[in-house]
Structure 1
Amino acid sequence: MPLTPKGAATRQRIVEGAAEQIREHGVFGARLEDVMARTATSKSQLFHYFPGGKDDLLLAVARYEADRVIEDQQPELGALTSWGAWWQWRDKLLARYRAQGANCPLHTALAQLGRATDAARTVTCELLAQWQRQLAAGIRHLQADGATDPRLDADREAAALVAGIQGGVLILMATGTTTHLEAALDSGLARLRGPAADRAGLAGS
């Protein structure tokens, strides 16, 4: 049964409160009691919206954080129409992960759920597919403008960029440094720039 506007607002408040609790204290510091206190909700309310308890809540948090990964890159991610726009997106992405540091609520929630579960896999696949589609659209725009090699497979190049970013984020979580994330981004963009961008005088602009 669809939620009423009031019910949807209450559920969203619980999800956002749980996400904040995880960011501040980690998943082990996000007990249901802490979330209830933080969001001023009762146990009956919490289990009404999340019948499966903490696992259901963590899945909702993972979906919320996955959406934020995309939203935090906008409007740049959705407007990759020039090399200047690509560099603005690159800088915004790095700024996001520098601010986040080693604490990634999305990875934390998914790890607690278990990456092999169907629910966790679905969240991850949805995020990666959406991210990859928007990058591929940007690559195709560059190809149409003659700013990158038209022979490149846009979907494959977008997948490689996302893979590099995610690898860099995992290393960031382990080391606290964005060095590898920065290298992955810059190497991916350098490959896209290639000779076509150099000839057009667009490299690094």
Structure 2
Amino acid sequence: MGGELTAKGRATRDRIVEGAALVLRERGIEQATLDEVMARTRTSKSQLFHYFRGGKEDLLLAVARFEAEQVIEDQQPYLSSLDSWEAWEQWREAVIRRYEEQGDRCPLAALSQHLGSRTPGAQAIVVGLMHRWQEQLAAGIRALQEAGHLPREVDVDERAATLLVAIQGGVGILQSTGRSYHLRVALDHAIGDLHRLAEHRPAAVPGS
């Protein structure tokens, strides 16, 4: 339906999705109601069902897409510019700050669990997020290679996957314990491994 909307229609739909995301973060999926979403976004029931014909499930799916985008957006501008060690350190701090502020609640995980396999496209949202995230990390590692900070033989995809696992594992423990210690340690080790590869890269051959 998104391609059929006017600019005003897209703005209204986006306002509903963003407002619903706030309600769900505050109230939780099970407690939040469409009436609360309508009140928060100043929309009528007819408007809501115009943009989300499947009702609450369609709205939740749209909010899941929004939350997936937020995961990437909250790491910017650093995630898209990982071309120096300083940029990697800034990105690390942005990631830790984001998940410390989020605490023990993960809106996207809660939505994915609620929607489950019965909702077409729900799993694809998370899969797509992980793919984009790993690709951006891989691009950052390639940028280090281009800048001469890492040897060419480094397995970029393997290192990007390791970083993503470090984040996901650390965040999972943070959500269980309320402590960001494990996330910090995991990221420090993953980025530290890149530093050690840089330190042991072959010396440049004069005139090459």
Q: TM-score, normalised by structure 2?
A: 0.89
Deviation of the 1:123 alpha carbon: 0.6
DSSP 3-state at the match of 1:64: helix
Amino acid at match of 2:92: R
Task: Mark the structure with the bigger radius of gyration.
Answer: 2
Alignment equivalent of 1:65, drawn from 59, 64, 67: 67
Equivalent residue number for residue 138 of structure 2? 136
Equivalent residue number for residue 47 of structure 1? 49
Alignment equivalent of 1:9, drawn from 5, 8, 11: 11
| Aligned pairs for 1:13-162 within 5 A | 13-114=15-116, 117-162=119-164
CA distance in 1 between partners of 2:158 and 2:201 (Å): 23
Equivalent residue number for residue 174 of structure 1? 176
**Contact kept in structure 2, 1:21 and 1:29, CA below 8 Å:** no
Deviation of the 1:117 alpha carbon: 4.9
Worse-superposed segment, 80-89 or 120-129? 120-129
CA distance in 1 between partners of 2:197 and 2:132 (Å): 29
- Post-superposition CA distance 1:38-58 (Å, at most 9, x none): 111111211111111111111
- Which runs of no fewer than 5 residues in structure 2 stay unpaired? 203-208
**Contact kept in structure 2, 1:149 and 1:192, CA below 8 Å:** no
Identity %: 55
- Post-superposition CA distance 1:1-26 (Å, at most 9, x none): 51111211111111011100111111
**Contact kept in structure 2, 1:15 and 1:64, CA below 8 Å:** yes
CA distance in 2 between partners of 1:118 and 1:194 (Å): 44
Aligned length: 200
CA distance in 2 between partners of 1:195 and 1:164 (Å): 18
**Contact kept in structure 1, 2:151 and 2:201, CA below 8 Å:** no
Deviation of the 1:160 alpha carbon: 1.8
CA distance in 1 between partners of 2:153 and 2:119 (Å): 37
Aligned-pair RMSD on alpha carbons?
1.9
Equivalent residue number for residue 203 of structure 1? none
Higher RCO (C-alpha 8 Å, min separation 6): 1
Distance 1:6 1:14, change over 3 A: same
Equivalent residue number for residue 165 of structure 1? 167
Q: TM-score, normalised by structure 1?
A: 0.90
- Which runs of no fewer than 5 residues in structure 1 stay unpaired? 201-205
DSSP 3-state at the match of 2:5: coil
